[in-house]
Copies of this chain bind each other. A is one copy, B any other.
Amino acid sequence: MTEGGKEIERLIELMARLPGLGPRSARRAVLALIKKREMLMDPLARALAEVAATVRECEICGNIGTGPRCAICLDPKRSDTELCVVEDVADLWAMERGRSFRGRYHVLGGVLSALDGVGPDELRIPRLIARVEEGAIAEVILALNATVDGQTTAHYIADQLESLPVELTSLAQGVPVGGELDYLDDGTISAALRARKRL
């Protein structure tokens, strides 16, 4: 295929490796970039190079940012007594979109998985325990995904923190806001029933 030369083919091939893009949509994206060179391609090339050069993990929580500490850890208005544990940065962003948590985060960087050979030391679990041992945190909220590995990880963390004077909670399970019962899986319905509330 002679799609406009080696450089363009290489760009298409790299774009196709992004999640959500395949070879066809990568081609469309590259053509759109070439059409809008000044409005889109040049700024995107600059933004990518800039982020690639500056992005780093926050030394406290594992969130990404452009300094040694992330914007959330540096924010003086957030509470130091609540710590929300998430699997990865995407989950942290999802929590932030909820706009109701005003404490700090701890990003594990994955979940325990015997199959993939991921043990506690591959994740930020030792650092989580160290943060809790410092004593300022009153509540640890486990916001791990409701998958088998996520729940295994939650149980492991609960075991490790048991002896420390900290309250351990997890996100409620139930019917999503706006969700229709008819479209929900059985597990969610029975979890919502077990956790039913008095009106």
| Chain A interface mostly | helix
Residues of chain B within 8 A (CB-CB) of A55 are 4, 7-8, 34, 37
Closest residue of chain B to A31 (Cβ to Cβ) is B90
Residues of chain B within 8 A (CB-CB) of A28 are 19-20, 90
**CB-based contact B47/A2 at 8 Å:** no
**CB-based contact A20/B25 at 8 Å:** yes
1/0 contact string of A24-68 vs chain B (CB within 8 Å):
010111111110010011111101111110110000000111110
Instruction: Indicate whether A146 reaches chain B with its CB closer than 8 angstroms.
Output: no
**CB-based contact B20/A33 at 8 Å:** no
**CB-based contact A44/B48 at 8 Å:** yes
1/0 contact string of A131-148 vs chain B (CB within 8 Å):
000000000000000000
Residues of chain B within 8 A (CB-CB) of A42 are 52
In the bound complex, how far is the Cα of B109 from the Cα of A173, in angstroms?
Answer: 54
**CB-based contact B89/A31 at 8 Å:** yes
**CB-based contact B66/A7 at 8 Å:** yes
Instruction: Indicate whether A97 reaches chain B with its CB closer than 8 angstroms.
Output: yes
Instruction: Indicate whether A167 reaches chain B with its CB closer than 8 angstroms.
Output: no
